Amino acid sequence: MKRLFIFLAASSALIACNYAEEADASSGATWVSELNYDGEDHFYGMRQLTDGGDNAEAYFSFDGTMLTFQSNAEKWGNECDQIYAFNWDTDTILENEPPMISNGLGRTTCAYFLPGDTTILYASTFTGDSACPEVPERGAGGAYVWPIYEDFDIYVSDLEGNLIDTLISGPGYDAEATVSPDGKHIVFTSTRSGDLELYVCDIDGSNIKQVTTGLGYDGGAFFSPDSKKLVFRSSRPQTEEEISKYKGLLEQGLVEPTNMEIYTCNIDGSDLKQITSLGQANWAPYYHPSGEKIVFSSNHHSERGFPFNLFMIDTDGTNLQQISFDKAFDSFPMFSPDGKKLVFASNRNNGGGRATNLFIVDWKE
């Protein structure tokens, strides 16, 4: 569910940039020497990893050599999102399909490596229905909405695509799972309380504990580098009108994700802090390797709902800095375990079309 902003952002017309391509002989990936926009001073040596379809939520393995991601690329025979994994430095996936980790049934989302890098968790709807679930129409007045599919449960697969275990299941939505850097815990979003809240469990799916309790959607959570804190996005309706609207949509299995801010808390839910108060949609947060900053995607500076770009802010809510400058969509940033690289999804370099692709860059402080 986290990636559905892509379809909102990708509908915009893109402003093309001039670039020079150079093929990397070892990997077949495309290095684009002039792909960075002015102001993207933290990016160096940008490399495009995918080409075509909507590719997003790329997350590193514990050893930093592999990425898992989701894609609906038609050229790979997908009708809706499926999960893949590949070695980002050596595998050639611009033209060749990488190994599929999911079973090709239902819709999948939010894949993440488990400790040891031999298994991957992901959420899927396939137990409820093997077909791709219906995408909801826009809400009243054309409002953009996310579906909260009740069939989403969290599964574990090996790298050959063999389903090993149902890790987290139950009534309602269970998805958006990520793993702590120390390999001890998983955080995920669930409707098991009747609202969209964060939960933390042990790495084997046991000992599930509720983290958040405030009314509103809490999701897209990641652990801090020391595994002691969480950063996440949240919509917290305040007025009677906002509360009524949120509850009404949730009863229909929907969320309107147009007003969200970034929050942090300890993994037990204590020390809850609102980090941003920017307005519009602030989401896809990830901790900087220092643990003292957060990188996230936002359209708070946009008048028409887009573009979305990457921003960075201190964990006390100060020193907001824009770090990407695409004309349509940049999101889903994640640092490599050694902090030297950043992977993200973007509409850049797609020829003015709708494709969202994965890019990896060297990070410069």
Residues belonging to the chain: 365
E-strand spans in 33-139? Answer: 43-48, 55-60, 66-71, 82-87, 108-113, 119-124
Which tens digit of pLDDT belongs to each residue from 216-274? 999 999 999 999 999 999 999 999 999 999 999 999 999 998 899 999 999 999 999 99
Concatenated DSSP letters for 172-225?
S-EEEEEE-TTSSEEEEEE-TTSS-EEEEEETTS-S-EE---SSSEEEEEEE-T
Residue ranges making up the domain that contains 110: 2-363
Quote the CA–CA distance of 81 and 102 in Å, as a whole number.
Answer: 10
With beta carbons less than 8 A apart as the criterion, state whether 188 and 202 touch: no
Q: Is the pLDDT of residue 23 over 80?
A: no
Which CATH number does the domain housing residue 150 bear? 2.120.10.30
How many structural domains compose the chain?
1
Dump pLDDT digits (tens) for 183-199.
999 999 999 999 999 99
3 state DSSP class of 252: coil
pTM of the complete model? 0.91
Is the model's pLDDT at 284 over the cut of 80? yes
Tokens, residue 93: 């996936």
**What is the average per-residue pLDDT within 276-295?**
97
> According to the model, what pLDDT value does residue 18 have?
29
pLDDT at residue 353, rounded to an integer: 85
How far is 91 from 70, CA to CA, in rounded Å? 16
Q: What pLDDT is recorded for position 28?
A: 44
Give residue-wise pLDDT tens across range 106-153.
999 999 999 999 999 999 999 999 999 999 887 676 778 999 999 999
- Distance CA(343)–CA(363), nearest Å, equals 10
Contact 178, 223 (CB under 8 A): yes
Q: What is the pLDDT of residue 185?
A: 98
Pairing of strands 229-235, 217-223: antiparallel
d(C-alpha 168, C-alpha 174), whole Å: 7
